[in-house]
Amino acid sequence: MPKSRRGRILLAGAVSMAVMAIAAPFASASLPGSFDPDAAPTDRVTDTSRLPDGWQQSGDRMVSYDGDSTGLHVLVADARSAYRWRTAATLSEPGIDTDQWIGQSCVTGSGDRAIVVYAPRQAVNDQQGFQRGAFAAVVNLVNGTVTKLPELVSMAYFNPGCGDGEKAVLSRPEGNGTQLLTIDADQGKVAGRQTVAGELTSAVPFGAGIAAATGDAVVSVDRQGHLRTLTRAQGTPFRLVPDAHDGLAYQVPTADKKKVQVRRVTEAGSDKLLASGLLGALSLRGTGGHVFVTGKDAQDDVFGPDLPKSWKILDVPAASEVSTTGLLALTGVGNGAGTAGGRKTTTGTALPVGIDALVPGTGKTFEFRVKPKAQKPAEGSEQSPALAAPPTGGSSGTRKPDAVEATDPDSPVHSTTDPDRSCAVTRNDPKLQSLQPSPAMVEWATDLAVQGKLEVRRRTGWNGTDIPSYTPQGLFPPVALKGGGRVPAQIMLGVLSQESNLLQATSRASAGESGNFVQGRYYGNGGSVHTINWSAADCGYGIAQVTSGMARSDTVYTTAQQDAITVDYAADIAAGL
């Protein structure tokens, strides 16, 4: 039975994520923005009377991010400029073809630097890519200087973690343990590394070392990698935020998983409950020693008199991004490219970003529309030192020469294809180009497929191929479910959204056009343009990333079936189902 690259999808999880994936697949920022593609650009507050008192002298800074095919944009707005938005940097890597860069960031204590983790969105579809496939950089938010770090790290939501100074922590799995990288943002370098046993999450600088969560405990890690338990909780602690008074804020779900607690622990091990509420109804944010408890109803469950001076309650939605001193909150960020049926990303052109903002305490709202333009674009697009240098040749990881098709031995003509490939169907073959569907075409095919009615007739030579006439579910009949019934269309659409963002062909091809198929590690090199490792090729094809049966050595499918999976989104959906 065909499987996707994602492969081991838990059905229960797929049910809940399917609708989200269809509505906004692969949004790089965590906040869904109310983006209006026809709105006039508004990159600053025009009615400054709606801003908080003293904004002209304030050092408050708002930092966010959003991604498209040109890179991950690090966006900055300062209170003293009426929150006029500018693009500190746009981060990408040369030679990596993606329709959207994703990532996350944190801001150091000074508010002048951001540690940014970024990757092509396809990285999250592969376990190795998710755990150790993201790039990292230090971005100077004042002058736009970019310092890329020589390490690949995890794309987990808690990476990176900033402290109350100029240090941050990046993490990644390492065997049966976790490697913690301490980043000196001022120097733009890795200042230390420790590998500790077990799985540590939410790591941040704390005191003279690092604080992190593991199991039901909050622990500290010294420079030698030794762990000391600061406190134990009822569940797994998460979202650790250092405050300005030698304390550490953290969240933890209650035993019944219905509520979440906000607690504060000190290096001495003193642990105190400061707030509680329904899970998802309140959250922690913080920068430079400031800790913010967010949530529209959070104030009803926060023990105000007991809050430290560096803590503040903000009556904003729990998922809001918060500025460095808490004067502004973002409730929506997005460019509209990720929504099903929305605009296609224009390759090479940065998309305008819609930003929704709210002033805590007053309820004043603002809608911005920002066109990203990096201060130093060359620095953001330079190759990361985390990528291996180009090989000198001769190793098994380098590409063998293309085959030569020559009628005249003195005038060889080089093939555009990969005759030494591991996957069944080659890229760059003008006779085997994939038709790009629109989201509506995908939904049409999926709705029919789950009913076993995807019987549209493809004529001989469809889309310029030499495939004999077929119907998608004639080639790939649906498999009966144990106990009867059928796969819900929403589940299948959710899987297709996660696997390929509803693309059969490269994102460079618009709906109705043809191009190379969307590939899953076809070259086995994790995105590097310098090496080819055929032995590690994944051979995921098209919209459903059909993998089983698509290696060159496989005999599960006929050549006609493999070609149909490659060029026809409907056949690919039938095979994926």
pLDDT for 447 equals 97
Which residues pair with residue 169 across a beta bridge?
A: 161, 182
Cβ-contact 508, 515 below 8 angstroms:
yes
DSSP letters spanning 49-102: GGSPTTGGG---EEEEEEEETTEEEEEEEEGGGTSEEEEEEEE--TT---S-EE
| Better pLDDT: 16 or 227 | 227
pLDDT tier for residue 258 given thresholds of 50, 70 and 90: confident
CA angle 495, 123, 157 (to 5 degrees): 90
Q: Answer yes or no: is pLDDT of 171 > 90.
A: yes
DSSP letters spanning 115-166: EEEEEEGGGGGSHHHHHH-BEEEEEETTT--EEE-S--B---TT-SEE-SSS
pLDDT tier for residue 283 given thresholds of 50, 70 and 90: very high
Q: Answer yes or no: is pLDDT of 267 > 70.
A: yes
Calpha distance 570→471 (Å, rounded): 9
Calpha distance 129→325 (Å, rounded): 35
Mean pLDDT over all residues of the chain? 85
pLDDT tier for residue 33 given thresholds of 50, 70 and 90: low
Across 234-257, average pLDDT: 92
pLDDT tier for residue 62 given thresholds of 50, 70 and 90: very high
DSSP letters spanning 466-501: -PPPB-HHHHSPPPPPTTS----HHHHHHHHHHHHT
Other Cβ atoms less than 10 A from the Cβ of 569: the count is: 28
pLDDT tier for residue 19 given thresholds of 50, 70 and 90: very low
pLDDT for 97 equals 79
Contacts of 88 (CB under 8 A, 6+ apart): 74, 75, 76, 114, 139, 140, 141, 144, 374, 375
pTM (2 d.p.): 0.73
Give pLDDT tens digits for 100-125: 999 999 999 999 999 999 999 888 87
Across 518-543, average pLDDT: 83
What's CA 57's distance to the chain center, in Å? Answer: 36
pLDDT tier for residue 280 given thresholds of 50, 70 and 90: confident
Q: Answer yes or no: is pLDDT of 501 > 70.
A: yes
pLDDT for 388 equals 64
Calpha distance 433→219 (Å, rounded): 54
Q: Answer yes or no: is pLDDT of 549 > 80.
A: yes
pLDDT for 43 equals 87
pLDDT for 528 equals 60
Pairing of strands 353-358, 189-197: unpaired
Q: Which amino acid is at 524?
A: G
pLDDT for 1 equals 37
Give pLDDT tens digits for 71-84: 999 999 999 999 99
Across 408-435, average pLDDT: 81
pLDDT for 39 equals 55
Assign 574 to helix, strand or coil: helix
Which of 540, 573, 566 is CA-nearest to residue 452?
A: 573
Give pLDDT tens digits for 450-468: 999 999 999 998 998 889 9
pLDDT tier for residue 26 given thresholds of 50, 70 and 90: very low
Q: Answer yes or no: is pLDDT of 149 > 50.
A: yes
For 406-419, b where at least 16 C-beta lie within 10 A, e where not — what string?
Answer: eeeeeeeeeeebbe
Q: Answer yes or no: is pLDDT of 349 > 60.
A: yes
Which residues pair with residue 146 across a beta bridge?
A: 139
The ranges assigned to domains in the chain are 58-188+337-343+371-383, 404-576
Across 217-229, average pLDDT: 92
pLDDT for 53 equals 86
Calpha distance 252→320 (Å, rounded): 19
Query: Can you list the positions of beta strands (E) in 416-486?
Result: 434-435
CA dist 142 → 5, 77, 137 (Å): 41, 10, 15
Pairing of strands 217-221, 209-214: antiparallel
Calpha distance 367→357 (Å, rounded): 6
Calpha distance 575→472 (Å, rounded): 8
